[in-house]
Structure 1
């Protein structure tokens, strides 16, 4: 059972998401909070696999709430709830440790799929979430990537696991992990979701 908490200052959003997630098999909402402070205080009791955190909230805001949640419960994956196309806010959430974005207007089945994917550590750029990313061209940097690196980066963009990528590129999982680490260093990424964003920037989509 995937345990979820919701952190949003809009009670209507919390109610709608609670109903949506509790209706799905294999999901249960363990807590619904109007502030990051309340959510962080309840994390030890909730033990959530996934936290859905609104980007724009009163103090603490979404990024700070994400930092506090990740510090209190490192195994909890955070998805940023958003209704705004704000690249700066998106970058702040990623830097704070969010795994990806979940637009509030996604269809219920897409929300459920995104939450289950996040539990297993797969980057989520749901719906218009990818539109939060600044897609400035980086042609020169793309030319520095080997064909294998380009393929791995594209597969990361698609949300593939290490094992799936290994099968696609005919390499061992350990070799794929080496390439992923090298790509993070080369592209200035901190995790797979930021690598996926770099893939978007490089036009590998």
Structure 2
């Protein structure tokens, strides 16, 4: 069970995300907080695997909240919640220790996959977050993909079915499905079409 906390000064965002993620059997929302200070104070009790942190908040802001969370609980991974495409904000969050970005309007299923990926230290870029990351960060993401994942991405772009991909990469169809799900989580995609688009946008193909 992956433990999650949500840090956002917008009550609607907090309650909506908590409801959507809390309905999943593999996730538990341990707390929702309107400030980074409150979230950090509750870390010993919540012990979250992943923290979803709004980029723009009153003092402390997103980057400072991320620094505090990571300093107090290094095992907690941080994903930035954003509706912005500000490169400076993106850079500040990455420098503070965030593992990736998620747009607030991303589909709940994609957010859930992203949270599970982040728990295991995998970088996540969702939606507008792709445009916020500098070239060096895109290269870092590419390095997280295995040769098999790259091959599967290429075959997905070519429109191959799961069975066709399995035959070409010498894996079972179920294993291919596992890799596809993992890739969608890493790139913030919701289906194979958006997965191929994300891969091209990030220069992975």
Q: TM-score, normalised by structure 2?
A: 0.69
Contact 1:134 1:201 in 2 (8 A): no
Distance 1:118 1:124 in 2: 7
Distance 1:102 1:38 in 2: 22
- Shift in Å, 1:128: 1.9
Partner of 1:122: 122
Matches within 5 A, 1:4-153: 4-134=4-134, 153=139
Distance 1:165 1:108 in 2: 29
Three-state SS of the structure 2 residue aligned to 1:127 is coil
List 4+ stretches of structure 1 deviating above 6 A.
166-169, 199-202
Cα deviations across residues 85-122 of structure 1 (Å, max 9, x unaligned)? 11100000000000000110001110111111100111
User: Over aligned residue pairs, what C-alpha RMSD do you find?
Assistant: 2.8
Contact 2:50 2:118 in 1 (8 A): yes
Gaps of 5+ in 2: 152-198
Distance 2:110 2:149 in 1: 27
Partner of 2:142: 157
Contact 1:124 1:159 in 2 (8 A): no
Cα separation, partners in 2 of 1:168 and 1:86, compared to 1, 3 Å: closer
Partner of 1:147: none
Q: TM-score, normalised by structure 1?
A: 0.69
- Shift in Å, 1:134: 4.3
Distance 1:6 1:90 in 2: 18
Cα deviations across residues 48-90 of structure 1 (Å, max 9, x unaligned)? 0000000000000000000000000000000000001111000
